[in-house]
Amino acid sequence: MGRRGIRFLWEEGGRGRMGRLRPALPEAFLREARDLVGERDLRTEEAELFSHAKDAWLLGGVWFSRGKEPILPGAVAYPESTEEVSGLVRLCCRYKIPLVPYGGGTGVVGGALPPAGALVVDLKKMNRLLEVDGENLLARVQAGMNGWRYEEELNRRGYTGGHIPQSLPSSTVGGWIAHRAAGQFSTKYGKIEDLVAGLEAVMPDGTVVRSRAVPRSATGPRLEQLLLGSEGMLGIITEATLRIFPFPERRLPLSFTFPSLEGALEAARRILRRGFRPAVLRIYDGEEVGLHFRGVVEEGRVLSLFLLEGDGKQVEVEGEVVEGECRSAGGSPSGEKPVEHWLRTRFDVHLAQEVIRGGGVVDTVEVAILWSRAAELYRKVRGELEGLEGMVHVSGHFSHFYPEGVCLYLTFAGFPSDPEAFYWGAWEKVMKATLELGGTISHHHGVGLVRARWMEEELGGFLSVLRKIKGALDPQNLMNPGKAGWGDGRGGR
Amino acid sequence: MEGVEDKLFLCALCPNMCRFSCPVEEVAGTETSSPQGKALTSLLLLRGELPWTEENARPPYLCLDCQACKLFCPFDFDLPSLFHPVRVKAASKIHPPEVHSRLLRMREKGNPFGEPREKRVVGKGEVAYLPGCTAEMKEREVLLSTLRLLEGAGVGAVLLEGYCCGLPSFRAGDEKRAEELRGEVEGVLRSLGVGILLLSCPGCLEFLSGLEGIEVFHTSTFFLKLVEEGKMGLPRLSGRVTYHDPCSLGRKRGIFDPPRKLLKELGLEVVEPLKTRERAVCCGGGNPLEEARGVSRKRAKELAETAELTVTTCPTCKWALGREGLRVLDLSQVLEGRLG
Ligand SMILES: Cc1cc2nc3c(=O)[nH]c(=O)nc-3n(C[C@H](O)[C@H](O)[C@H](O)COP(=O)(O)OP(=O)(O)OC[C@H]3O[C@@H](n4cnc5c(N)ncnc54)[C@H](O)[C@@H]3O)c2cc1C
Ligand code: SF4
Ligand code: SF4
């Protein structure tokens, strides 16, 4: 993967020789960085470096389990203010040191992996909820704030952020924005890009930019949107103003099982088309029902799970519509139990670790596609993945819904003879099929290192526009370089 | 060790799904203070893949043994017990300076405060009362209230002074010294021939339970029993207090209700802090690292915002929270009728 001369990731290494892969940063740089953030907030011990040499990309886990060693960053800084972030960025520009913003490290695409000898700028000490504005339904929050703590603080005050990704316990606000994340309740509340009302960020030259929170605006392109999905390559997000919602007055759990995926999808499409927005809507295929709902839902059926929430009256009407559409598309009601089960287990993440410990390879891939090709895409990728040597599990669910289409979330696992070939082979199948059917290769996990090679096909002419923007804003190519297929800034030179 | 390494490996691969619950991570804000970061570092140290330096050996100690994370772990891991083998190695190799002074104090003086003290066995009775280091040396009011309450209820008690249960040594990784100290307590109990051991400190309770033939009580449950048996009268009080659950009593042993029940029987209104019962935040007092002090500060603030007076059932919690300016009393003091 060390394409274009930037060394990332893990190398074969003799155990216990960690220092070997640890490039030193210039003493003068370290001294200045220390002066800026303070002794305690500039870390160079191996434990800190190693902890930032990985994120939640599962291929990294596979390598780790096979004894490979990570490429270490040169230092980790924990700024406590926007001024400190800006100072660090300017310092890196002066010394030509690459830098990588780091939030919770829960990204699953390798986006936060530092190139050798980079400065990691960890935002987790910028962790305060600065303001909750109930009248205007806005919250101002620092980028390093932990998601769970953010939601808990809002709940205490009678609100919800409406953004509940499965990684909520560990991810940060800045990471959500940098990856255009989606929460489990996104069908009602939207993805993070729908929730950002204003931003503060440090640009690649160290200048601080801020946008006010306004309902909507027509004063030219809203350039803060460049940071949504920027994956640390166009600046460091330091603060966000996010839309919030009154804590739901009522919640209604419903579930239905269907003999086929097509029926479940059709019911969902009709519900969305009629203007209803269930907070949670998840459609699981038979395999996932077997894996996650054993003993709760009849085996072999497709499960549609709903959690409706909001104003009491609205929920009541929505409940009737959901019930009517599911029944008329061939669904049978299966009660509240599956929803309760899901609510109880939705943060239980353990299977992937167990597969890797057992010597296997596992990953998840999410894409988005129009309704008209959704079932076709599912069938096509399933068939192709199942044909790969060593594959033992392929399953899928649909989990974020729009009037025009859906997100398909796939899980695959195998015990192949060549793990790397298997891994990239599986990704190739899903990416190609999605592009062929006109979908987008990522709905919410982002690009990072995993999807970089398909970005030309994904973006077409926009890729060179993006590269030009990168080159113009970051001419030295220091901000999280080498990522996402456009993070090298080639268009700028 | 295989089992421990295997669990640490699974934890090292986990995307830190309990991160938000860890009070040390919340105040330290670093990756290596997060549960997964501590597990990863511990694993690498055990495997010899990280150099043993003072700084690299810090993360396994950045844990308050509070088990707040356990509630959210899909594997039900008990992280403190997974960090323990690393601490054992670190104790004899290299460790943070704060741990170093704790180890020395425990070795030389037999208590975490490093002050000299004598072993004394005072009085006679069927119950042995071990106040523990903090009640004896820093929060003597707790000890005195407990003795007066016992006397008032007509319970004959032997006071054991100068004894440490050994838990501070154990947590610092010095198993040998911990065993010696626990052995001394067991020895004196055997020589006295008592069948009941009464403790003010939930940490002692955690470490001394399981002594054969000896029934072990914490003061909160013991006093409730005396009240219910009609052997102990309660004064009438009025006012609002909040209650802080010590980890070793609440989360680890499920003793949430007896202290609350007593407070209510006294006539007090008990308001719950934001994080309470299973989710109560550790006081930070049992851990010598600088970061733990930040946890104390944060918890003290939360309690101060809940009510004017906090009641707890652990001398170490009282000491650690009081040190941050919180108005806090031990239940035994309140049972005597004190509210200030
Ligand atoms: C178990 C699990 C479940 C998940 N569930 C979901 C889910 O439901 N929905 C979803 O959308 N995602 C999910 N993810 C993926 C991941 O949690 C998200 O991508 C999340 O947004 C990453 O946030 P983070 O703070 O951990 O970012 P990191 O992993 O630290 O960083 C991700 C990227 O953002 C950049 N970055 C981080 N902070 C900043 C900043 N302040 N400014 C600029 N750039 C920054 C980094 O450089 C990197 O490129 C899941 C991951 C796991 C492991
Ligand atoms: S036991 Fe407490 S301090 Fe230790 S890792 Fe768990 S939550 Fe953090
Ligand atoms: S203790 Fe459990 S939940 Fe927490 S990081 Fe480890 S494996 Fe994950």
pLDDT by residue (tens digit) across B142-186? 999 999 999 999 999 999 999 999 999 999 999 999 999 999 999
pLDDT by residue (tens digit) across B119-134? 999 999 999 999 999 9
Residue A4, pLDDT > 50, answer: no
Q: Is B67 in the pocket of ligand 2 (CB under 6 A)?
A: yes
CB contact under 8 A, B49 and A15: yes
CB contact under 8 A, B13 and A15: no
A376 is written with which tokens? 């076709």
Of the pLDDT bands very low, low, confident and very high (cuts 50, 70, 90), residue A24 is: confident
CB atoms within 10 A of CB A57: 23
Nearest to B256, CA basis, from B221, B282, B210:
B221
Of ligand 1's atoms, which has the minimum distance to the CA of residue A100? 47
Nearest to A129, CA basis, from A111, A143, A110:
A143
Query: Which of B16, B25, B72, B301 would best serve as a mutation to test chain A binding (most A beta carbons within 10 A)?
Result: B16
User: d(Cα A403, Cα A193) in Å, to the nearest integer?
Assistant: 17
Of the pLDDT bands very low, low, confident and very high (cuts 50, 70, 90), residue A349 is: very high
CB atoms within 10 A of CB A86: 21
Nearest to A93, CA basis, from A119, A71, A73:
A119
Is the Cβ–Cβ distance between B198 and B157 less than 8 Å?
yes
User: d(Cα A368, Cα A405) in Å, to the nearest integer?
Assistant: 7
pLDDT by residue (tens digit) across A464-490? 999 999 999 999 999 999 999 998 866
Residue A436, pLDDT > 80, answer: yes
B156 is written with which tokens? 């004959």
Residue A218, pLDDT > 90, answer: yes
pLDDT by residue (tens digit) across B91-103? 999 999 999 999 9
Query: Which of A11, A41, A46, A59 would best serve as a mutation to test chain B binding (most B beta carbons within 10 A)?
Result: A46
| pLDDT (mean) for A232-259 | 98
| Average pLDDT for chain B | 97
User: d(Cα A13, Cα A24) in Å, to the nearest integer?
Assistant: 18
Q: Would you mind telling me the total number of residues written for chain B in this entry?
A: 340
Backbone conformation region of residue A160, classed left if phi is above 0, alpha if psi is from -120 to 50, else beta: beta
Integer-rounded Cα radius of gyration of chain B: 20
Is the Cβ–Cβ distance between A361 and A419 less than 8 Å?
yes
A40 is written with which tokens? 């305690």
The pLDDT score that the predictor gives to residue A10 is 58
| pLDDT (mean) for A87-94 | 98
| pLDDT (mean) for A123-137 | 98
pLDDT by residue (tens digit) across A360-386? 999 999 999 999 999 999 999 999 999
- Which residue in A has a C-alpha nearest to residue B30's C-alpha? A124
In B, residues 27-46, which contact A (CB 8 Å cutoff)? 29-32, 34, 37, 40-41, 44
Pick from B40, B42, B65, B77 the residue to mutate for probing ligand 3's pocket: most ligand atoms within 8 Å of its CB: B77
Q: Is B35 in the pocket of ligand 2 (CB under 6 A)?
A: yes
Chain B residues whose beta carbon lies within 8 Å of the beta carbon of residue A105: 15-16, 31
- Shortest CA gap B296–chain A (Å): 18
Residue A75 pairs in a beta bridge with A119
Is the Cβ–Cβ distance between A161 and A196 less than 8 Å?
no
Show Cβ contacts of residue A215 under 8 Å, excluding neighbours closer than 6 positions. none
Is the Cβ–Cβ distance between B320 and B284 less than 8 Å?
yes
pLDDT by residue (tens digit) across B178-210? 999 999 999 999 999 999 999 999 999 999 999
The pLDDT score that the predictor gives to residue A342 is 98
CB contact under 8 A, B31 and A144: no
Task: Compute φ and ψ for A113, nearest 5 degrees.
Answer: -70, 125
Nearest to A200, CA basis, from A249, A168, A236:
A236
The CA–CA distances, whole Å, from A1 to A65, A420, A481 equal 18, 11, 14
The pLDDT score that the predictor gives to residue B247 is 98
The CA B107 to ligand 1 mean position distance, Å, reads: 46
Integer-rounded Cα radius of gyration of chain A: 23
Ligand lying closest to the C-alpha of residue B18: 3
Residue A11, pLDDT > 60, answer: no
CB contact under 8 A, A357 and B59: no
Measure the CA angle with vertex A115, ends A112 and A116; round to 5°: 135
The pLDDT score that the predictor gives to residue A70 is 84
Chain B residues whose beta carbon lies within 8 Å of the beta carbon of residue A109: none
Q: For the whole model, what pTM was predicted?
A: 0.96
Q: Which residue has the higher pLDDT, A155 or A10?
A: A155
Q: Is A181 in the pocket of ligand 1 (CB under 6 A)?
A: yes
In B, residues 259-318, which contact A (CB 8 Å cutoff)? 274
| Per-position b or e across A27-54, b if 16+ CB within 10 A of its CB | eebbebbbebbeeebbbbbbbbbbbbbb
User: d(Cα B218, Cα B202) in Å, to the nearest integer?
Assistant: 7
Chain A residues whose beta carbon lies within 8 Å of the beta carbon of residue B50: 18, 46-47, 50
| pLDDT (mean) for A247-276 | 98
| pLDDT (mean) for A27-44 | 98
* Helix, coil or strand: residue B126: coil
B59 is written with which tokens? 């993360």
Q: Is A368 in the pocket of ligand 1 (CB under 6 A)?
A: no
Parallel, antiparallel, or unpaired: how do β-strands A159-160 and B196-199 relate?
Answer: unpaired
Ligand lying closest to the C-alpha of residue B34: 2
Residue A67, pLDDT > 90, answer: no
Chain A residues whose beta carbon lies within 8 Å of the beta carbon of residue B21: 169
Of ligand 2's atoms, which has the minimum distance to the CA of residue B65? 1
DSSP-assigned states of every residue in B6-31: HHHHHHHHS--TTGGG-HHHHHH--G
User: d(Cα A445, Cα A439) in Å, to the nearest integer?
Assistant: 15
CA-proximal residue: ligand 1, atom 53 (nearest): A106
Of the pLDDT bands very low, low, confident and very high (cuts 50, 70, 90), residue A15 is: very low
The pLDDT score that the predictor gives to residue A5 is 45
The pLDDT score that the predictor gives to residue A16 is 42
B15 has a chain A CB within 8 A of its CB? yes
The pLDDT score that the predictor gives to residue A395 is 98
Q: Kindly indicate whether the ipTM for this predicted assembly is greater than 0.90, answering yes or no.
A: yes
pLDDT by residue (tens digit) across B8-48? 999 999 999 999 999 999 999 999 999 999 999 999 999 99
